[in-house]
Amino acid sequence: MRYTPDQTREFNRLTGHFLEAAVVQNHRATEELRNVIRFHEWRYYVLDDPLISDFDYDRLYKLLERTEAAYPEWASEESPTRRVSSDLTESFATVDHLSPMLSLENSYDLADLEAFDLRVRKLCGLAANEALDYFAEPKFDGGSIAVIYENDCLVRAATRGDGARGEEITANARTIRSLPLRAAFSSLGIFRVELRGEAVLSKQRFHAINLQRETDGLPLFANPRNAATGVLRAKDPSETAARNLDAFIFQVSHAEAQNGHTQLDAFPTQASWMEQLDALGFKVALADRKVCKSIKAVEDFVGQWTSRRDAYFYDIDGVVVKVNDLSMQQRCGSTAHHPRWAVAHKFQARQSSSTLLGVEFQIGKIGSITPVAKIAPVQLAGVTVSSVSLHNEDFIAQRDIRIGDQVLVERAGDVIPYIVKAFPELRKGDEKPIAFPSHCPACNTPLVREEDEAAWRCPNDRCEGKRLQCMIHHASKDAMDIDGLGKSLIERFYDLGWLADLSDLYSLDYEAIAALEGMGKKSAENLRRSIEKAKDNPLYRLLHGLCIHHIGKKIAQRIAAQVEYLPDLAQWDAERFMAIDDVGPVAAGNLVRFFANPHNQQMLRRMEELGVNLRAKDDDHPQASGSGGIFHGKTILFTGTLERMGRDEAERLAEKLGARVLSAVSSKLDLLVVGRDAGSKLAKAQKLGTVEILDEQAFFDRAGSQ
């Protein structure tokens, strides 16, 4: 069935209601909850366009399970809890699985994992101190498949369907190159075998496909899973072939000898089966899995994958933990829904829906106007999010986002949260378009938008809003790194009329500061010390802190390496600036204008009088790069959080070994080093496909091999 817009809105309302409910009141409400779950299953499995996160879906599902267990008289044979979710349609022949294709129980935190361990131990009759090995590996996010080999040949492939019966997709599965068409099971005495696995699409392929679809004006896929599951059931196998799917195998569900005897115990453990399948030519996550000696070791493994997932070639949404010993698995058995010997530990949700309450327009340090969405607070990967950048006018227009809309918000890795899309089908009619201002919210000057720029900007050099933001940037960690002089203190000084331009930051009246409420002598003295210390900074920090459009830290460093005394830059013409790497005509023009401006010259003179260093220091002249260094001639970029050393330090090390550090991912980039929670830079590098991606360990291994 399809759902009407009215029904969609009603189910959305009921979803919110049930997510807040601890219990379900009566029989009628239980049936209502079942309908809500059926609706979300349809959105997820049929439309490939879920309205809620997997996490919220699981909460609804568990609420229903609890209710049906507590009140069997309210249960129903047709309940979503009585079957595994189905992807059956009428276009394919339906076939029986050799054994039911079950789902997995989910775990969301360490307490769930420990409870799983206790349950398993009880079922296996093991005491807490007895050895029990777990087999742990990534949980691939794609479409489940079951493949049968007979006489060493792939004879049938099917989707999961309702768990008992699936859709026959042999012709499509044969196009998946990582699925061997022949495999020597007979060498193991096996005549027929059924394998379970996941058809997936690599992130790199997914980005390339979406790029092409964008060019062709086709709707984009939301994620690799949607791009994989859809084409798995394509009517024309050449469509499946063109998408380049991969298939990971993670379970042997049936194995029999010629005489009909089961051979499932041919290998004693999950790990040994996987090694055998690897030897037979199947794609198994051999390098990415681990046999863990205890649930604590599983927890460590989960922790590693929480950081590693972004750098991984495939989308994964958790870690699957299985009892390694197959005889122990048998002792545990299964429910109608899931095996008791396995659990899927899900990573924290990164997407959630919320309501767009309003939009604020913020001015930046160079005058760009950024629309910021205020949303009803949501939890994303452990952080409460209530403000989300909408980037620019085009971003809003492309997504047709309106105030009052239900929106899908995502926060992945170190990427700042963003709005993936709005749900127009949930509109009630009173949503309002977002009106972009025509004048600066701070100084009311008409905004301008240059041809090749996405942002509207305030062109007024003396705009108060812009100036305040520039001061905040100037003192920030990235620029002058003035400890203790953060946004709120600068705003306070600014409101008191103490800050007309940047040089005023270096002539503050510390007695007046000590007298401010909440400050006192000690805080004022600390602040004075940090400011005095900053006066002695290397030149590139000051240059970066001047808020010249297009002059980031990297370019500031390159300029500082070529000038002795900052005011000398007033003599440079655009050509000379453009001789520096990554300085284009626009940046060069901005630099020339900045240093020719008498106000700015005067401001720099005053800074110098107040003791601020305007001369290049040792730090501004990195030692001539080791031309024999291991990274000689390579460009490199670091992203995400490094564990072993700060990013600055790692960059210096790379430079010492001959690399040139870039500030953005482009076709010029050779190496990307990926730390914890890497985000958009990694995605972009994967999309490009020409960048070598190293994790932190690999980088230090190479650096250390010098």
Q: Where along the sequence are the contacts to ligand IVH (CB under 6 A)? A: 102-104, 137, 139-140, 144, 198, 250-251, 320, 339, 342, 344
Residue nearest to ligand IVH (CB): 144
Give the integer Cα–Cα distance in Å for 431 and 408: 16
Whichever of 320 and 543 has its CB closer to ligand IVH, that residue is: 320
Which residues lie closer than 8 Å to 147 by C-beta, 6 or more apart?
154, 156, 157, 158, 173, 179, 194, 195, 197, 247, 249
Which residues lie closer than 8 Å to 237 by C-beta, 6 or more apart?
171, 172, 174, 175
Whichever of 320 and 373 has its CB closer to ligand IVH, that residue is: 320
Rounded least distance, CB 38 to ligand IVH, Å: 18
Rounded least distance, CB 164 to ligand IVH, Å: 13
Residue 521 is among the residues annotated as catalytic for this protein: no
Number of other CB atoms surrounding residue 288 within 10 Å: 17
Whichever of 342 and 489 has its CB closer to ligand IVH, that residue is: 342
Rounded least distance, CB 457 to ligand IVH, Å: 47
Long-range pairs of 52-58 with CB within 8 A, sequence gap ≥ 24: 52/15, 52/352, 52/353, 53/349, 53/351, 53/352, 53/353, 54/317, 54/346, 54/349, 55/108, 55/346, 55/348, 55/349, 55/352, 56/15, 56/19, 56/349, 56/352, 58/106, 58/346
Rounded least distance, CB 309 to ligand IVH, Å: 13
CB 449 within 8 A of CB 455: yes
Give the integer Cα–Cα distance in Å for 100 and 189: 24
Which residues lie closer than 8 Å to 621 by C-beta, 6 or more apart?
561
Rg of the chain, C-alpha, whole Å? 30
Whichever of 312 and 638 has its CB closer to ligand IVH, that residue is: 312
Tokens read off for 237: 């196998």
Rounded least distance, CB 277 to ligand IVH, Å: 13
Whichever of 45 and 436 has its CB closer to ligand IVH, that residue is: 45
Whichever of 323 and 604 has its CB closer to ligand IVH, that residue is: 323
Give the integer Cα–Cα distance in Å for 531 and 502: 12
Instruction: Please report, for residues 40, 47, 346, the alpha-carbon distance to residue 226 in angstroms, rounded to integers and kept in the order given.
Output: 16, 10, 19
Rounded least distance, CB 103 to ligand IVH, Å: 5
Give the integer Cα–Cα distance in Å for 252 and 68: 33
CA angle 18, 46, 140 (to 5 degrees): 85
Rounded least distance, CB 41 to ligand IVH, Å: 13
Whichever of 56 and 504 has its CB closer to ligand IVH, that residue is: 56
Rounded least distance, CB 140 to ligand IVH, Å: 4
Whichever of 344 and 524 has its CB closer to ligand IVH, that residue is: 344
Q: Give the torsion sign (CA, 297, 298, 302, 308).
A: positive
Whichever of 99 and 601 has its CB closer to ligand IVH, that residue is: 99
Rounded least distance, CB 271 to ligand IVH, Å: 13
Whichever of 103 and 353 has its CB closer to ligand IVH, that residue is: 103
Give the integer Cα–Cα distance in Å for 483 and 488: 13
CB 232 within 8 A of CB 172: yes
Q: At what angle do helices 487-495 and 464-475 cross, to 10 degrees?
A: 140
- Tell me whether strands 342-346 and 94-96 are parallel, antiparallel or unpaired: unpaired
DSSP-derived secondary structure letter, 617: -
Rounded least distance, CB 251 to ligand IVH, Å: 5
Instruction: Please report, for residues 7, 199, 309, 415, the alpha-carbon distance to residue 155 in angstroms, rounded to integers and kept in the order given.
Output: 43, 17, 34, 44
CA angle 229, 195, 174 (to 5 degrees): 55
DSSP-derived secondary structure letter, 16: H
Give the integer Cα–Cα distance in Å for 68 and 75: 5
Place of tokens 């920030």: 476
Strand partners, 408: 353, 421
Rounded least distance, CB 137 to ligand IVH, Å: 5
Which residues lie closer than 8 Å to 571 by C-beta, 6 or more apart?
none
Q: Give the torsion sign (CA, 518, 523, 525, 528).
A: negative
Rounded least distance, CB 112 to ligand IVH, Å: 15
Instruction: Please report, for residues 401, 494, 501, the alpha-carbon distance to residue 504 in angstroms, rounded to integers and kept in the order given.
Output: 42, 10, 6
| DSSP state string for 404-431 | T-EEEEE--TTSPPEEEEE-GGG--S--
Whichever of 198 and 695 has its CB closer to ligand IVH, that residue is: 198
Whichever of 133 and 504 has its CB closer to ligand IVH, that residue is: 133
Strand partners, 673: 638, 694
Q: What is the dihedral of CA 546, 548, 553, 554, to 10 degrees?
A: -140
Give the integer Cα–Cα distance in Å for 230 and 108: 28
* 122, 139, 428, 617: the active-site residue: 139
Instruction: Please report, for residues 85, 150, 165, the alpha-carbon distance to residue 158 in angstroms, rounded to integers and kept in the order given.
Output: 15, 15, 9
Whichever of 250 and 631 has its CB closer to ligand IVH, that residue is: 250
Rounded least distance, CB 642 to ligand IVH, Å: 29
Which sequence positions are flagged as catalytic?
Answer: 139
